[in-house]
Amino acid sequence: MSETGLGAVAQSSQEILSEDPTASLRRIVPDHEPVAPEDAESESNWGFEDTRFEVDARGHVRLTGDRYALSGAELVDLLPWARELLDLTLDPSHVNPSQYPTPIPPPNPHAAFEEELRRALSGDQLSTDPRVRLRHGHGQTQEEMYAIKYDQIERVPDLVIFPESEADIEAIVAAATRFDVCLIPFGGGTNVSEALLCPRDEERSIVSVDMGRMNRVLWIDPEDHTACIEAGARGRDIQKTLERHGFTIGHEPDSVEFSTLGGWIATHASGMKKNRYGNIEDIVLDLRAITPLGVIGHHAALARESIGTDIRRALFGSEGNFGIVTRATVRIRPIPEVQKFGSVLFHSFEDGFAFVRDVERELSEERLQPSSIRLVDNVQFQFSQALKPKPTGWKAYRSALERWWVTGPLGYDPQEMVACTLVFEGTADEVRLQEKRLYAIAKRHRGMKGGAANGERGYQLTFAIAYIRDFMMKHFILAESFETTVPWSQALDLCRNTKQRLWQEHAKHGLPGKPFVTCRITQIYNTGVCVYFYFGHSYQGIEDPTGTYAEIERAARDEILRNGGSLSHHHGIGKLRRDFLPLVKSEANLEATRRFKHALDPANVFGASNQ
């Protein structure tokens, strides 16, 4: 760490402790654990370097590594199911080999800026390595991932800087302002909104500011149930550190292993357990950010205040346009006494939808909702079944008997049935009451308990299944997800019409086989729900695969808006959805945002051009 960085850490600590003269007596300063070498992340695929789906010598799919419950299992049914669903051959030996790294544009350096920063920072805090620059020039949309393997990213950052303190960031912002350099903050690189793509018309030198070294939990206050965390801390590391001291932040987006606190704030994120812990805006009490105007911060992190306009709230969803979030004080909760998983089978998506609606209406006032409740449609239910390892011995007999019982005497149609996965948390008494009330509601809607094992498997599958997108891309399938919020009264129509539109667009573009079209409800609110859509298609023989996909996705987004849905629930806008903003915001709203941006950053130092 540079001398500047060390001094800033000491200064920051004094600032934090000055909130309360007695705070230092009770606050815990956790030991900081550096990222382990075995936790290296892949440059060219989603997730960890040691984890990927691949086809084994027997022609069956396996997930490498040992990180997930699915790891190492032979998935005999996956390819046969995909062939039938997509109406494609899907020969395991027929692959589109990755060309990563595809051509990397030459840098557009600013010598004076770099010279000043090299004097202020240590040598390893700046990098012009082409592959480092490439990784910092994209997020995780299928278009971006396709480009780094088979095409080209048109522009990537010219320099990557790794600050280690707020003082480092202040020096970076000051130098960028003085030398007219463009800054783009970088967290975990997991966004699916093209937020990290460099603007094509940007003529200035572009610098990526990687927050990965500012990744510490600075303190935990066990009395006030708060913690101060640097913005570059990844979700998995926040979880581990807090758990060692008996606490949890409770924020679990699908990307929690790789996304960062700063990224959650910048994208206005939501998590799978929001029913119990809230969305990110409910969790964050205070934050600090460095802007060209100066430091945005507060004297203390309080439960609630009425002190006029709170500029800090403008940082939620700002997507790197206003400045760099450096740290935040968050609410934490004791690790719940009991965590139980559950699942319910329903005869149809409509039955499952009525169930989750009634859970919200009847249990939210009493705070008896499960921490997480997610309803998948039939295609996604079938997908999860195809990802089950083939049972052997007595387990195979039991599985066949259960299938016969469910689809025979109980009358569940394999082509219509759906599933809901549940996570209950609280004291033993609270969880018992949650289960009792919820399963009574399920029974009213012809629901049948599916068991804790299936519930846990369904919840944990979220993290492993993220790796399948890159596997399918290698086998000539493009797939992506997109989400929305919609009122209860319009949700079923939106799901039905958006799926139908995707099928129509697939046919209109003359794409091979059939599309992968599915949705699930992931978060519930008093007035509506978050719906996640997944769409995939073969790009075999298609001249412009990602351009075609983008056209279809835009058509789906248009259909979502026409059916009363939001532009995004938690992925954000970035560059991917910004053309839709005039349809959902008034001109005065847009102009106010532009003027606020100009007030904070008149020279457009933070020139990511998101939104």
Cβ contact 114:85 at 8 Å: no
Q: Are strands 182-186 and 206-210 parallel, antiparallel or unpaired?
A: parallel
Kindly calculate the radius of gyration of the chain based on its CA atoms and give it in whole angstroms. Answer: 24
Query: Which stretches of 321-412 are assigned E, i.e. beta strand?
Result: 324-331, 333-334, 338-346, 372-376
Short-list 208, 207, 313, 217, CA closest to 261: 217
Active site residues: 532
The CA angle 530-532-534, to the nearest 5 degrees, is 170
Question: Given the structure tokens 């206005």, which residue do they identify?
Answer: 268
Tell me whether the omega of the peptide bond preceding residue 101 falls within 30 degrees of 0, making it cis.
yes
CA quadruple 58, 60, 66, 71: dihedral sign: negative
Label residue 506 left, alpha or beta by phi (over 0 means left) and psi (-120 to 50 means alpha): alpha
Neighbours of 358 (CB within 10 A): 15
- Buried/exposed code over 70-85 (b: 16+ C-beta within 10 A; e: otherwise): beebebbbbbebbeeb
31 exposed, middle or buried (CB, 10 Å; 0-12, 13-18, 19+)?
exposed
What distance in Å separates the CA atoms of residue 163 and residue 397, rounded to the nearest whole number? Answer: 58
What distance in Å separates the CA atoms of residue 166 and residue 65, rounded to the nearest whole number? Answer: 37
Helix 488-508 vs helix 349-363: crossing angle, to nearest 10: 150
Task: Spell out the alpha helix ranges (H) of 445-544.
Answer: 452-465, 468-474, 488-508
Task: Spell out the alpha helix ranges (H) of 466-602.
Answer: 468-474, 488-508, 545-562, 581-584, 587-600
- Buried/exposed code over 3-30 (b: 16+ C-beta within 10 A; e: otherwise): ebbeebbeebeeebeeeeeebeeebeeb
